[in-house]
Structure formats: structure tokens, C-alpha cells
């Protein structure tokens, strides 16, 4: 299983993904620059990603907590998600995301 992640310099990487891991953990484990300050507790919004258009509807919709946390992110778009709130499963094989800008 794989996930395709484009970093902030525009470079795309294909990362091996494990079932049951959060997308944030996969990205962080492969060493891509995702801050994930709160470690996945939906408390920091520093794991903000944009999901490719054809994947948006395949993900479970964001819960209220995720929407509230996205208020603390920058340049939020309709396809914005917090990577720590996406649990990886076989149906997500090939998921494609872009790292959103990080607040300083």
C-alpha cells in the first residue's frame, strides 16, 4: 500500500503505508516535514494537507473537532484535512495529498 505526498517544494514522493497507521504518522515516519506538534490529538492543526480531488469523497467526512482545528490552519480549502485524522486502510491505497503551508 502506498500514499503519494507532494512536499512544499513541489516534489512528489511515494511512501509505503501501513494499515492502522494515521496518515500523519506515515508522513512523519518517512521524514517529510510535517510538524504534527500534538502527536495526533487533533489539537494543533500542524498536520494540514490538501487531498487530491478524486480522493476527497472516498475519505470519511471530517468530524466537528477536525473542522474546528482547521480554523487554526492557513489557506484552508474545501479539500483540506488534518493528516492525523485519517486512519490508513486498504481502500486508501494510492491516496494522494499535498502538504499545506506551515504557520511559523
Ligand X SMILES: Cc1cc2nc3c(=O)[nH]c(=O)nc-3n(C[C@H](O)[C@H](O)[C@H](O)COP(=O)(O)OP(=O)(O)OC[C@H]3O[C@@H](n4cnc5c(N)ncnc54)[C@H](O)[C@@H]3O)c2cc1C
Q: In this complex, which beta carbon is closest to ligand FES, that of residue 84 or of residue 95?
A: 84
Neighbours of 82 (CB within 10 A): 26
Residue 11 neighbours by CB under 8 Å, 6+ apart? none
Residues 24-43 that bind ligand X (CB under 6 A): 38-39, 41, 43
Q: How many residues bind another protein (CB under 8 A)?
A: 22
The three grid cell numbers given for residue 77, joined into one nine-digit string: 480549502
Q: In this complex, which beta carbon is closest to ligand FES, that of residue 54 or of residue 71?
A: 71
Q: How many residues bind ligand X (CB under 6 A)?
A: 4
Residues 59-88 that bind another protein (CB under 8 A): 67-68, 70-76, 78
Residues 23-52 that bind ligand FES (CB under 6 A): 24, 36-38, 40, 42-47
Residue with the three cell numbers 512544499: 8
Residue with the three cell numbers 508522513: 27
Residue 90 φ then ψ, to 5°: -55, -30
**Which of another protein, ligand X, ligand FES, none does 47 bind, CB closer than 5 to 8 A by kind?**
ligand FES
CA gap 57, 81 in Å, rounded = 12
- Binding footprint of ligand X on the chain (CB under 6 A): 38-39, 41, 43
Amino acid at each position: 500500500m502506498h500514499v503519494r505526498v507532494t512536499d512544499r517544494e513541489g516534489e512528489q514522493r511515494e511512501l509505503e503505508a501501513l494499515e492502522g497507521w494515521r496518515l500523519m504518522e506515515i508522513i512523519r515516519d518517512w521524514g517529510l516535514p510535517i510538524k504534527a506538534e500534538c502527536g495526533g490529538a487533533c489539537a494543533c492543526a500542524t498536520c494540514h494537507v490538501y487531498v487530491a480531488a478524486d480522493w476527497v469523497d472516498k475519505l470519511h467526512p471530517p468530524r466537528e473537532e477536525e473542522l474546528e482545528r482547521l480554523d487554526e490552519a492557513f489557506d484552508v480549502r474545501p479539500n483540506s484535512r488534518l493528516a492525523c485524522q485519517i486512519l490508513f486502510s486498504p481502500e486508501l491505497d494510492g491516496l494522494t495529498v499535498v502538504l499545506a503551508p506551515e504557520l511559523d
